[in-house]
Structure 1
Amino acid sequence: MAPKRGTDWWKSSVVYQVYPSSFNDSDGDGVGDLPGVIERLDYLELLGVDVVWLSPVYPSPWDDNGYDISDYLDIHPMFGTLADWDRLRDGLHERGMRLMMDLVVNHTSDEHPWFIESRASKDSDKRDFYFWRPGRGGGPPNNWGSVFSGPAWTYDEATGEYYLHLFTRRQPDLNWENPRVRAAVHDVARWWLDRGADGFRMDVINFVSKTPELPSGPLAATSGHGVFTDYAVNGPRLHEFLHELHQEVFAGRDVLTVGEMPRVGVEQALLHTMVERRELSMVFQFEHVNLDHGPGGKFDPRPLDLVRLKESLNRWQAGLGESGWNSLYWNNHDQPRAVSRFGDEAHRVESAKALATTLHMMKGTPYVYQGEELGMTNAHMADIADYRDVETLNHHRAMVETGRVNEGTAMAAVARMSRDNARTPVQWDASPGAGFTTGTPWIGINPNHTQINAEAAVADPDSVFHYYRRLIALRKEHPVIVHGRFEPLLEEDPAVYAYTRTLDGRVLLVTANWSSDTVPLELDPSVARRDPVRLIGNYPDEGAFAPLRPWEARVHLGS
């Protein structure tokens, strides 16, 4: 069954993110691979998702888990071959699903041929494919710090200049001001679409336009480096570059494009996603997943304030609701597990279902990150030697070795917020390798896989997995979930997330208790109009307006 074609098919779709190295290992080397993904396609079909987003599988030195690409037009040998990718594409298409690739084009690896040629000489034909600058005052060209700690510039002795890298030193930034760079990126995107890809998730795509002068930024209190965001995020030519990419590559093709955009606001996201502007289908924004960051950033976490979360998400629902489009997510490869972060592991099943209900009934395209549908939790790794993520290791080194915080404080923050919490292997069964591998996994398996795993979840009709199946199916059955107008309720309630969706006289009432206590539901029954029928809930039915039990969620449809 080929995927259905037509305008805006992605509005009624659910996307499932596969982080390949941690998904399923087919050959016992401890790293997931494309044949391993193919082995699990029937599972994804059973779940009911429409699109599989594949995190990078390109050749890479693996400095940042594949987000440092050395060849855009091939597959890393540890993941398989292009022939394996073709089999994955065909297997998805035969099941009516699509395949979305990760397009990482703000930067390349320092082992990419473009950069090797660029650094060879100041006179290189590809010198201006990247940002090269002479130093100032015996140091870098400006004071910018990188996302992953340390300066954003590295000195190259061969040519006596510095190159810019907003991430690790092995991820030099491409210079999109150069039209030849943009044309090369267009060629890469066309090549994958011609091969059968159905769209792209575009990594930090709003970093590609930078203020040409690259001025220094205000000093960050924690790092002592300058903050680059005013000059290298949402830059002056971003809309131009994205519109050009659409016109040169996406126009006339039936594709999904989502731009990862840290620090994007509602107003700008609306411009990016308005159909008539021809830029992107949707964006990933970070506002809601930054709300538990403290003054020291993500590794200085604070308890989530539900009222602030509602204010944020409700504002995005209102801002993009009629003319743009929202992407909806709690989890991905860069975020800790939502059930540990926002829910309650003591009520793991109930809170996983409540989080899912709150998200999937909103207006936008929901994203499910591998293992989320099982209610997987944070890994709770206690030793820094168990971590693999470059951001985590750099942070720990910067904090502990400089004496800014003690080991216990640093490890508590890392255990809660590290990206590696999302990168432990998918828990397929209770065997020693969790059904992920017969070998030694590249990163440790969560010990709770003996209780939390896909085999047990598929066999249990009341599992988180089957709850996700029902949520996904409801989107196909009820147009109000896809197209209905969003109206927030109980905006100041510290425990209850509630809202309605309305379309053609039908009213969807969504209520969820985000606490571990029983709380009253103080709503006028008229919000559901009349005769509300329960569509889904995570407790036995006691009525649409009964008190909400710990982490209870329910959805009713009235008319």
Structure 2
Amino acid sequence: MAPNSTVSSDTPDRQWWKEAVAYQIYPRSFNDSNGDGIGDIRGITEKVDYLDSLGIDVVWLCPVYQSPQADNGYDISDYRSIDEQFGTMADWEALLEALHAHDMRLLMDLVVNHTSDEHEWFQRSRRGDDAYKDYYYWRDGGEDEHGNPTPPNNWGSFMGGSAWTYDEIREQWYLHLYDEKQPDLNWRNPDVRDEIASLVEWWLEKGIDGFRLDAIHVISKPEGLPNGTTDKKPIGSEVFSHGPRVHDYLRELYDRTFANYDVVTVGEMGETTVDIASEYLGEEGDGLDMLFHFEHMDIDVGPRGRWDPEGGGEWSLPEFKRIMSRWQTQLEGWNAQYLGNHDQPRIVSRFGNDGTYRGESAKLLATFLLTTHGTPFVYQGEEIGMTNAEFESLDELDDPMMIGAVEDYLAAGKADSPEELREFWNTQSRDHARTPMQWSDDEHAGFTDEKPWFPVNENYRDINVEAARDDEGSVWHHYRELINFRHDEDALVYGEYSLLLPDHEQVYAYTRVLGDDRLLIVLNWSENPATIDLGQTEVDFDFTDLSVCLSNYEETATQSDELLFRPYEAAVYRY
């Protein structure tokens, strides 16, 4: 890991994962080494030097376990095997060795709210095997007034439709909060918890450096599985999120496994507030090191949630500042800072300007991500400013969540055709983040020599790694400069965050202060010029003493009694 020039030995609670910059890889879309159109582990290993040149410290690898791929690997049929489309266990071991040789660490995805329905546990459970019959949630259903069978409760699936599917073999309904091929594990069963602790221990013994815990906030379901009471999608989420024993389960898993290794754990948790999050973190909580919350991800969705086409789409900078600042200052624990991932649209299309100011706004987003408090996670392609794609029809989508949301809307009679919802999927679909990585202007963007599993974004000839690395003023070079700067500035890791100008409609400004190290970050989050009078803040700034550390424009903002900022201008000052 890069040295920190301003590191002080008396900085409290130093941890390697706090000082790291992480990079998330979606394997099937990253790099194809064997020409079958699907990204694979050897393809990742081929790019380890690339990650090292960018300054990355930790790689978060989305699932590569054996899977029928109903949800692109988040439906696991064998936790101790590598799916053949991604390679072999030997390939995975070579990747781990290559990362460690470059002083990078590996974070694996841990998906234990559910398995695949092809997992041996589920197959034995559905047959009524005594040892496995209670590994999942099996219930009898009911009947409606016409005698038709009905599910055990009204819970909805994140993939659309009911969260229950009837199984002809067991002759009961089973619960799946996600796809019907992803049955939920019954964490109430101590044998299930033993199995999970065992597989966690198995991977830790192989030398990995931590886990990202998928959908971990829904592992505990309330007694009796009561009906949901709101129309928020999916129905029942207010009931099955952060269930009654979730803290017991996570603390038990921590004490049995994570506590015995120098690893990092990051929980994925929807419907989480700062207060709720604090209960999960650290030795005083459940032992998790940090978590991904969704509050800022929900800023542009409607009141019934992301998968409801009605409402949403608009967001305001003052509200965004309030959300982010609350997490920066009130969380009792450590932030995992991110703007995008494999489940979200491309950040420059969502929070920036992917047209005229794509480069400037992509650099602004990078500046924000890498100068706020918490471990920053960069998602593949963000470092070159990759954008949302354009999907003409529902048939072009692969995302089961989006397809399910559209089908639910059509079934409710709220639209006559899928095409009426084209704007919805072209802003919210998870597929935007899953188009193949754009390495060059060669055919298929250098991702593969053959037809890719999913179409490459049409703008790859202009937006690609090769072109970005050749251009000293590119988004890629800005990311690398920022990452190196963060490694050298302890104030950006451990410094206090203070928001300035909270109600300004265009400007997001804040300071990071640690002892005598004082940094000012100013972001004109707008396509219009902005004038910033820092004299209106509680901080006493001497404009003549502001020293520019980084900027996304060749010439920095005009300094007089005010700062004059151009569209999407971002600058870091020392004062």
Normalising by the residue count of structure 1, what TM-score does the alignment of the two structures yield?
0.95
1:235-254 equivalences under 5 Å are 235-254=243-262
1:517-556 equivalences under 5 Å are 517-524=528-535, 526-528=539-541, 531-539=545-553, 540-543=555-558, 545-556=562-573
2:500 matches 1:493: no
1:28-67 equivalences under 5 Å are 28-67=35-74
**Partners in 1 of 2:175 and 2:540 — Cα distance?**
54
Contact 1:2–1:96 (CA under 8 A) maintained in structure 2: no
2:220 matches 1:209: yes
| Selected match of 1:283 from 286, 291, 295 | 291
Structure 2 residue ranges without an equivalent (≥5): 5-12, 144-148
TM-superposed deviation, 1:133:
0.8
Q: 1:338-393: per-residue Cα shift (whole Å, max 9, x none)?
A: 10011111200000011111221111000000000000000112122221111122
TM-superposed deviation, 1:543:
4.7
AA paired with 1:117? R
Q: What residue number does 1:446 align with?
A: 457
Contact 1:106–1:208 (CA under 8 A) maintained in structure 2: yes
1:150-161 equivalences under 5 Å are 150-161=161-172
Q: What residue number does 1:176 align with?
A: 187
**Partners in 2 of 1:144 and 1:276 — Cα distance?**
33
Q: Percent identity?
A: 46
Contact 1:54–1:101 (CA under 8 A) maintained in structure 2: yes
AA paired with 2:380? Q
Compared CA separation, residues 529 and 70, structure 1 to 2 (3 A): farther
**Partners in 1 of 2:98 and 2:290 — Cα distance?**
26
SS at match of 1:315: helix
Structure 1 residue ranges without an equivalent (≥5): none
Compared CA separation, residues 217 and 47, structure 1 to 2 (3 A): same
Q: What residue number does 1:423 align with?
A: 434
TM-superposed deviation, 1:403:
3.7
Q: What residue number does 2:140 align with?
A: 134
1:251-290 equivalences under 5 Å are 251-290=259-298
1:278-427 equivalences under 5 Å are 278-298=286-306, 299-300=309-310, 301-320=312-331, 323-345=332-354, 346-400=356-410, 402-405=412-415, 406-427=417-438
Contact 1:11–1:365 (CA under 8 A) maintained in structure 2: yes
**Partners in 2 of 1:446 and 1:254 — Cα distance?**
39
**Worse overlay, 173-182 or 212-221:** 212-221
Compared CA separation, residues 3 and 488, structure 1 to 2 (3 A): closer
TM-superposed deviation, 1:527:
4.2
SS at match of 1:28: coil
**Partners in 1 of 2:451 and 2:556 — Cα distance?**
45
AA paired with 1:503? L
Q: What residue number does 1:483 align with?
A: 494
2:475 matches 1:464: yes
**Partners in 2 of 1:318 and 1:493 — Cα distance?**
19
TM-superposed deviation, 1:410:
0.6
SS at match of 2:108: strand
| Selected match of 1:70 from 77, 82, 87 | 77
SS at match of 1:273: coil
AA paired with 1:282? M
Contact 1:28–1:439 (CA under 8 A) maintained in structure 2: yes
AA paired with 1:65? N
**Partners in 2 of 1:311 and 1:156 — Cα distance?**
47
TM-superposed deviation, 1:91:
0.4
Q: What residue number does 2:111 align with?
A: 104
Contact 1:282–1:326 (CA under 8 A) maintained in structure 2: yes
**Worse overlay, 299-308 or 359-368:** 299-308
SS at match of 1:72: strand
Q: 1:278-304: per-residue Cα shift (whole Å, max 9, x none)?
A: 510100000001110024532444222
| RMSD value, Cα | 1.9
2:16 matches 1:9: yes
AA paired with 1:424? T
AA paired with 2:123? I
AA paired with 2:17? W
SS at match of 2:81: coil
AA paired with 1:369? Y
2:180 matches 1:166: no
AA paired with 1:202? L
2:188 matches 1:188: no
Q: What residue number does 2:7 align with?
A: none
SS at match of 1:316: helix
**Partners in 2 of 1:479 and 1:529 — Cα distance?**
23
**Partners in 2 of 1:394 and 1:274 — Cα distance?**
37
AA paired with 1:326? N
4+ long deviations beyond 6 Å: 1-4
SS at match of 1:434: helix
Compared CA separation, residues 535 and 506, structure 1 to 2 (3 A): same
TM-superposed deviation, 1:396:
2.5
Compared CA separation, residues 202 and 528, structure 1 to 2 (3 A): farther
Q: What residue number does 1:557 align with?
A: 574
Compared CA separation, residues 11 and 548, structure 1 to 2 (3 A): same
**Partners in 2 of 1:401 and 1:494 — Cα distance?**
40
**Partners in 1 of 2:168 and 2:98 — Cα distance?**
49
Q: 1:493-512: per-residue Cα shift (whole Å, max 9, x none)?
A: 11111111111022211110
TM-superposed deviation, 1:542:
3.2
Q: 1:400-455: per-residue Cα shift (whole Å, max 9, x none)?
A: 46541243431111011100000000000001110100011111000100000000
AA paired with 1:547? L
Equivalent pairs counted in the alignment come to 551
TM-superposed deviation, 1:145:
0.8
Contact 1:380–1:416 (CA under 8 A) maintained in structure 2: no
**Partners in 2 of 1:410 and 1:278 — Cα distance?**
41
Compared CA separation, residues 466 and 527, structure 1 to 2 (3 A): farther
Contact 1:3–1:98 (CA under 8 A) maintained in structure 2: no
TM-superposed deviation, 1:74:
0.8
TM-superposed deviation, 1:179:
1.0
SS at match of 2:272: coil
AA paired with 1:187? S
Compared CA separation, residues 425 and 537, structure 1 to 2 (3 A): same
**Worse overlay, 51-60 or 244-253:** 244-253
